[in-house]
Amino acid sequence: MAGEPQDDCLFCKIVEGHVPATIVRETETTVAFRDINPQAPTHVLVIPKAHYPDAATLATAAPTLAADVLREAQAVADEDKLESYRIVFNTGSGAGQTVWHAHAHVIGGRGLQWPPG
């Protein structure tokens, strides 16, 4: 069920403290941690603590929580002193989503080409 922790979700396990992560920020509703396979000097994932399978579901079911994720993405960029950065939400396997818990990638610290990927 959306919003409920999922036993088989890696990110839910990080939220619960059962899987280690390099946490850089945490609020009442979000957790931000370093990506284990960084694509740039700054590559941080910002996730809602509540489980939503993707960004589209999160935006529809919990728009205030989606805004919290975006606000924290900005805070990560500010803390890492990024003048330019990218916020990426992959939604669906065809877009590269591999963990079915909504998350924003905050990527920066190097030049980023367009179009991506």
Q: Which residues are catalytic?
A: 103
- The span from the CA of 22 to the CA of 4, in Å, is 23
Judged by phi (left if over 0) then psi (alpha if -120 to 50, else beta), residue 81 lies in left
- Residue found by looking up tokens 């994720």 in the block: 69
